[in-house]
């Protein structure tokens, strides 16, 4: 009789091999899915941060643009009123004083007569304006601070159209835009209204601070000469110098530098006022969110891997069980037990089930042959 192989050890070895393969494949696939999910989530997260920064910059720019546009609309409508067209100085003065007092749009409002003389002046700080009355805007061309306004008034009169003449700063360091509107009467310019419009009023700093959606977010505003208007935090000058030179509407990931931490930033310019808004968020905020994301992905991946490994134990046992039964059957045949049958449902599919059926048929034939052989031997011996 042939030496009997250790079927139990062979089956155990096969079981371990199956389990090892399933486990290795599961861990590999789980790790691959985890890495892909992390990098995809990182891209989505940065995109969400970028969209948030873009929306913040839009909100600020729209607020400034709407503010300046609303104030400009007030002056444009005032230029079309009958008392302005007819040069009713008393009513123009009353209107200008009410406008600077009741709204927070205007730093001052001037009305120049058709003779280029300042006839009305009103300031938000209610200063005495008697010293200004009678000034000729043609004399502004020799004053360095007023040359731009002078040229803008002349151009506005020539075009018979309102226009912005640029910006300047009030004594309180508030940014102001000068808006000039010619007063038209019977197709001719009958006067000029000039208004200094606040781009950032006393509530502006509170407004931009309230827009910070994250403690690590920062907001900075610059004028057209790249000078800082307002910011949500104090930082070195180099910090703002870099931001002032950014391309408009381009989201940038800036690596660490001597003056700043790594950060995600976007710059946006308001077309009507040329104010540049820079909104950014420090990398530590993005990094902490990504760290939480990594932890969650690792936890979920580990749970999935352990679940699949547990299922692999069951699956490996289900797969090895009929093989073990087949090995046991072959062992019994080797022992001469031809009547042994492997129990199976009979409705299975696959090579292993076919092998079991073939084994049972083979053993049945061997059993019949053995029975016939025994009967023949008994009769022959008799």
**pLDDT tens-digit readout, 99-112:** 999 888 899 999 99
- What percentage of the chain has pLDDT greater than the value 90? 23
Give yes or no for residue 76 having a pLDDT over 50: yes
Cα(138)–Cα(141) distance, integer angstroms: 6
Picking from 58-62, 213-217, 248-252, 318-322, which range would have the lowest pLDDT averaged per residue? 248-252
Picking from 73-77, 161-165, 210-214, which range would have the lowest pLDDT averaged per residue? 210-214
Give yes or no for residue 192 having a pLDDT over 90: yes
- Based on C-alpha coordinates, what's the Rg of the chain? 44
Cα(243)–Cα(151) distance, integer angstroms: 32
* CA torsion, ordered 317, 318, 321, 322, to nearest 10 deg: -160
For 298, other C-beta atoms within 10 Å of its C-beta total: 12
Give yes or no for residue 334 having a pLDDT over 70: yes
Q: Selecting from 3.30.450.20, 3.40.50.300, 3.30.9.10, 3.40.50.2300, what CATH number does the domain 203-285 have?
A: 3.30.450.20
Binned at pLDDT 50, 70 and 90, residue 4 comes out as very low
pLDDT of residue 258: 52
pLDDT of residue 1: 39
The overall average pLDDT reported for the chain is 78
pLDDT of residue 95: 95
E strands in the chain? 106-113, 118-123, 163-169, 175-185, 188-198, 217-222, 228-231, 251-254, 263-269, 276-282
* CA torsion, ordered 306, 307, 312, 314, to nearest 10 deg: 120
Residue 141 DSSP label:
G
- Among residues 82, 33, 61, the alpha carbon closest in space to that of 269 is found at 61
3-state secondary structure of 43: helix
pTM for this one?
0.60
Give yes or no for residue 153 having a pLDDT over 60: yes
> Residue 349 has which token pair?
């599919």
Sheet containing strand 276-282, edge to edge, reads: 228-231, 217-222, 276-282, 263-269, 251-254
Domain range list for the chain = 203-285
Cα(294)–Cα(40) distance, integer angstroms: 12
pLDDT of residue 3: 44
Residue 107 buriedness (CB in 10 A; 0-12 / 13-18 / 19+): buried
- The tally of CA atoms less than 13 A away on the side-chain side of residue 215 is 2
Cα separation values, 370 from 336, 338, 362, Å:
10, 8, 12
pLDDT of residue 2: 39
pLDDT of residue 167: 80
260: Cα separation from own chain's centroid: 21
Cα(86)–Cα(255) distance, integer angstroms: 62
pLDDT of residue 12: 60
pLDDT of residue 304: 74
Binned at pLDDT 50, 70 and 90, residue 199 comes out as confident
> Residue 36 has which token pair?
């892909």
* CA torsion, ordered 127, 133, 137, 139, to nearest 10 deg: -100
Question: How many residues are recorded in the chain?
Answer: 382
Binned at pLDDT 50, 70 and 90, residue 201 comes out as low
What are the tens digits of pLDDT across the range 281-308? 877 776 777 777 777 777 777 777 777 7
pLDDT of residue 191: 94
């Amino acid at each position: 009789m042939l030496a009997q192989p250790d079927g139990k050890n062979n089956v155990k070895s096969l079981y371990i091999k199956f389990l090892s393969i399933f486990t290795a494949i599961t861990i590999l696939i789980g790790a691959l899915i985890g890495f892909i999910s992390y990098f995809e989530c990182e891209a989505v997260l940065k995109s969400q941060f970028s969209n948030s920064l873009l929306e913040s910059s839009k909100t600020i720019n729209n607020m400034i643009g709407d503010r300046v546009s609303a104030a400009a609309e007030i002056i444009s409508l005032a230029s079309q009123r009958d008392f302005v067209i007819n040069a009713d100085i008393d009513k123009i003065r009353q209107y200008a004083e009410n406008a600077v007092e009741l709204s927070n749009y205007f730093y001052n409002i001037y009305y120049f007569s058709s003779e280029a003389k300042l006839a009305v002046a009103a300031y938000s700080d209610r200063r005495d304006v008697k010293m200004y009355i009678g000034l000729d805007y043609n004399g502004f061309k020799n004053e360095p601070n007023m040359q731009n306004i002078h040229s803008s008034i002349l151009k506005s009169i020539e075009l018979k159209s309102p226009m912005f003449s640029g910006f300047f700063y009030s004594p309180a360091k508030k940014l102001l835009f000068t808006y000039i509107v010619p007063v038209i009467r019977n197709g001719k310019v009958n006067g000029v209204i000039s208004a200094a419009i606040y781009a950032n009023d006393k509530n502006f700093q509170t407004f931009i601070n309230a827009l910070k959606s994250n403690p690590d977010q920062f907001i900075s505003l610059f004028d057209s000469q790249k000078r800082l208007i307002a910011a949500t935090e104090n930082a070195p000058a180099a910090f703002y110098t870099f931001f002032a030179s950014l391309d408009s509407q381009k989201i940038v990931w800036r690596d660490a530098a001597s003056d700043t931490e790594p950060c995600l930033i976007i710059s946006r310019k308001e077309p009507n006022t040329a104010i540049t808004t820079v909104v950014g968020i420090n990398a530590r905020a993005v990094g902490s969110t990504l760290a939480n994301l990594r932890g969650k992905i690792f936890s979920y991946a580990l749970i999935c891997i352990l679940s699949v490994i547990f299922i692999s134990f069951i699956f490996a046992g289900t797969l090895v069980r009929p093989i073990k039964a087949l090995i046991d059957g072959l062992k019994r045949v080797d022992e001469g037990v031809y009547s042994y049958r492997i129990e199976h449902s009979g409705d299975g599919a696959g090579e292993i089930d076919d092998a079991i059926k073939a084994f049972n048929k083979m053993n049945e034939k061997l059993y019949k042959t053995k029975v016939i052989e025994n009967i023949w031997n008994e009769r022959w011996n008799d």
